[in-house]
Amino acid sequence: MSSSPKLDETLREAIIAKPQAVLDDKDIMHALVAANERAMGGNVVDLRGIAMERLEARLDRLEDTHRSVIAAAYENLAGTNQVQRAVLRLLDPVDFETFLRDLGTEVAEVLRVDAIRLVLESSQAERGASLERLDDVLTVAQPGFVDSYLTAGRNAMPRQVTLRQLQQATPQVYGRRADWIRSEACLKLDLGPGRLPGMLAMGAEDPHQFTPQLGTDLLAFFAGVFERTMRRWLS
Predicted structure pTM score: 0.67
> Residues near 221 by Cβ (< 8 Å), separated by ≥ 6?
83
DSSP, res 213: T
Residue 187 sits at φ, ψ, to 5 deg, of -110, 115
pLDDT tens string, the chain, 235 residues long: the values are 445 556 677 777 777 787 777 777 777 777 776 666 666 655 555 666 667 777 777 777 877 777 777 766 666 777 788 889 999 998 888 888 899 999 999 999 999 999 999 999 987 754 444 455 677 889 889 999 999 999 987 888 889 999 999 998 999 999 888 999 999 999 999 998 989 999 999 999 999 999 988 888 899 999 999 999 999 888 7
Q: Write the DSSP string, 71-113.
A: HHHHHHHHHHHHHHHHHHHHTS-SSHHHHHHHIIIIIHHHHT-
Domain 93-234 belongs in CATH node 3.40.50.300? no
Judge whether 154 and 145 are in contact, CB under 8 Å: no
Domain ranges of the chain: 93-234
Does residue 178 contact residue 202 with C-beta atoms inside 8 Å? no
